[in-house]
Structure 1
């Protein structure tokens, strides 16, 4: 073999190696996005609605004087309990007593006048038959008697009013409750039915809690109550309460009634619940959260909140993977949030695989690769 042939052998093998490299399959560059899914399965769930509420006094009495005069005594301690009929203030009774005595005298005078005229009329009745008294004089006397009797009635009414006014000098509480801050002190001049209350008494046991609920939830609540899905106590729905500090309230209340009107600005309905309040733990004006037990619902689908979004029209939607791992968009009816899940009544079926992670990397029509979901709840089963 000559020198020229030896030089051609390496070139031949180099070309073979280069050709072999060129025939290697191309590396796949577009990777399918990875998503986490949960497979839906029917389950039972105990539903409790959380409704914002505000406490209100069961009864409120704004105490105002019904007669004018000088306050000579205050008979209560601000913030203490007062009983129905208990004296709160004493208005100086002397002027009122004088008016009462005057009314008694006026009544006695009117009665004496009426009696005198009656005697005159009786005498004239006997004499008119013998024509010793003219008919005109007789009629005049009878008219005077009628007027005198009317004056007696007026005097009696004045006496009754004077008696009532003297009684009003002792200002009492019309209800059992807690007294507030007094707006007057001893020596203050008050007038009958003045604008400013002397003090406010509030009955706090039991106590009202006004709750706010959307119209949609309110209608559903009425249907569930009528169908017997919601447990009731003597025809009333029991309600639990969470205080502002996050602690549960020890007493259970009941739902009493709903406002027949809808708030046009918020589209909500006001519900009123009543709670025992023997310890005075709830005060008027406190904001609380009511827990309304709507009972257990069977064979429902619960979807993690991560798997539900809302479109521009405000409708709830979910992305699912079909059998070929293609992303599909579903419009659903998510009626209620329960914990970290949504109760779905339409748009999804048992066995559907709802995408709960990797949502930002996909869109409908794309194929995706399934990863096991880390969401493990009794109402959903992770795709393995």
Structure 2
């Protein structure tokens, strides 16, 4: 066999050897360890934070009055514009008053007649007093005194009738009892109104200030009282700061104050009611509107867990994932947590400087190796890594 034939026989063996070497290298690369997964973390720092509650509520007029006539008669005028503001004392309706004016004139005449009889009765008393036992009997003197008393009583009766006639005449002008906004008028000019009728002529509502009725669970009430009793909660809940979010999601620019709260829990819903008062100069909030109120009850010291970083397990326990000193993932459970804005506030189970995972933890199991990247969580709930925050905007 010549050298050329020998070379041709050995060439396939060399190529096969190279192929096996390549496969061996690929298998070794596939078994290499994966690099630690990067996760965004927030360094825990204990500090005082506000304790807040977000409560559903509904707007209620500060004052409401259903306007009804106090005397009968035909509606002569409807003075107000429906849906407009009126001031206390403004004229709303005018009832035909000719019969009431006549009654007032008659009462004035009756009073004048009664007053005219008093001087004559007084003179008779003086005269009979001088003539007693010398031309007049004691009985005549006593009768004169009785007549005087009756004349004075007639005057007082006439005065009362006159006052009643004046009141009835004044009732023909129906006026607003307080600053308010008018509703639709239920009657028109020419309609007949009766005293204290069932149907209201219109309804008045005072909208500035305005009440917001809020509902809180009895469970939260017990937790709040426990926090106050333990001295964890600083501040006076009766002076709680309240802010509103309207139905369209916008923030109301006025701060409210606690007005009252019920001292009983509803037997059907297990809730109790809180009433807040807000200034409403532009009548932006109307009765019946649904709102959400954020109530700041006080301050408590603890660690903030952003809601995006915390979940609840099947037993309802709050849990969050942390990075250990060995850069491994661990899950911690928290029995007691308070709401503080968009965060949970806890005071146990965390130490100063612990690393809370705020992003990237959803697909990482406990014990997995990770690479922590310091970040912050904005008010909008978005995570911003520290390095990205330092970069200048383009």
**SS of equivalent residue, structure 1 residue 49:** strand
Aligned to 1:223: 228
1:119 to 120, 123, 128: 123
Q: Distance in 2 between matches of 1:49 and 1:84?
A: 37
1:268 aligns with 2:271: yes
After superposition, the CA RMSD in angstroms is 4.1
CA contact (8 A) 2:310 2:320 kept: no
1:65 aligns with 2:66: no
**SS of equivalent residue, structure 1 residue 266:** coil
Aligned to 2:262: 259
Structural mapping, 1:339-378, within 5 Å: 339=342, 341-345=343-347, 348-350=349-351, 369-370=367-368, 372=370
1:83 aligns with 2:84: no
1:246 to 224, 243, 249: 249
Could you say if the C-alpha distance between residues 342 and 237 of structure 1 is closer, same or farther in structure 2, counting changes exceeding 3 Å? closer
Question: 1:192 Cα shift?
Answer: 1.8
Q: Distance in 2 between matches of 1:228 and 1:337?
A: 12
CA contact (8 A) 2:312 2:319 kept: yes
Could you say if the C-alpha distance between residues 76 and 327 of structure 1 is closer, same or farther in structure 2, counting changes exceeding 3 Å? closer
1:289 aligns with 2:287: no
Deviations 1:266-320 (A, max 9, x none): 3333222222222221111111111223465433363757542353xxx636598
2:167 to 159, 164, 186: 164
Deviates more, 1:137-146 or 1:237-246: 137-146
Structural mapping, 1:1-384, within 5 Å: 41-44=44-47, 45-130=49-134, 132-218=135-221, 220=224, 223=228, 229-230=234-235, 236-294=239-297, 297-300=300-303, 302=305, 306-309=310-313, 311=315, 316=317, 318=319, 332-336=335-339, 338-339=341-342, 341-345=343-347, 348-350=349-351, 369-370=367-368, 372=370
Q: Distance in 2 between matches of 1:77 and 1:345?
A: 58
**SS of equivalent residue, structure 1 residue 137:** helix
CA contact (8 A) 2:216 2:273 kept: yes
Q: Distance in 2 between matches of 1:244 and 1:174?
A: 31
Q: Distance in 1 between matches of 2:291 and 2:305?
A: 27
Could you say if the C-alpha distance between residues 228 and 197 of structure 1 is closer, same or farther in structure 2, counting changes exceeding 3 Å? same
TM-score by length of 2: 0.70
Q: Distance in 2 between matches of 1:326 and 1:278?
A: 54
Question: 1:140 Cα shift?
Answer: 2.3
Q: Distance in 1 between matches of 2:102 and 2:373?
A: 85
CA contact (8 A) 1:55 1:207 kept: yes
Deviations 1:109-129 (A, max 9, x none): 222333332222222111114
How many residues in Structure 1 have an aligned counterpart in Structure 2?
331
Deviations 1:56-106 (A, max 9, x none): 222222222121111111111101111111111111110101111111122
Deviations 1:140-199 (A, max 9, x none): 232232222222211110101101111111111111121111111111111222222211
Q: Distance in 1 between matches of 2:178 and 2:58?
A: 22
Unmatched 5+ residue regions in structure 2? Answer: 1-38, 378-382, 384-394
CA contact (8 A) 2:55 2:294 kept: yes
CA contact (8 A) 1:40 1:301 kept: no
**SS of equivalent residue, structure 1 residue 65:** coil
Question: 1:42 Cα shift?
Answer: 4.7
Unmatched 5+ residue regions in structure 1? Answer: 1-35, 363-367
Q: Distance in 2 between matches of 1:203 and 1:212?
A: 23
CA contact (8 A) 1:93 1:169 kept: yes
Q: Distance in 2 between matches of 1:146 and 1:345?
A: 85
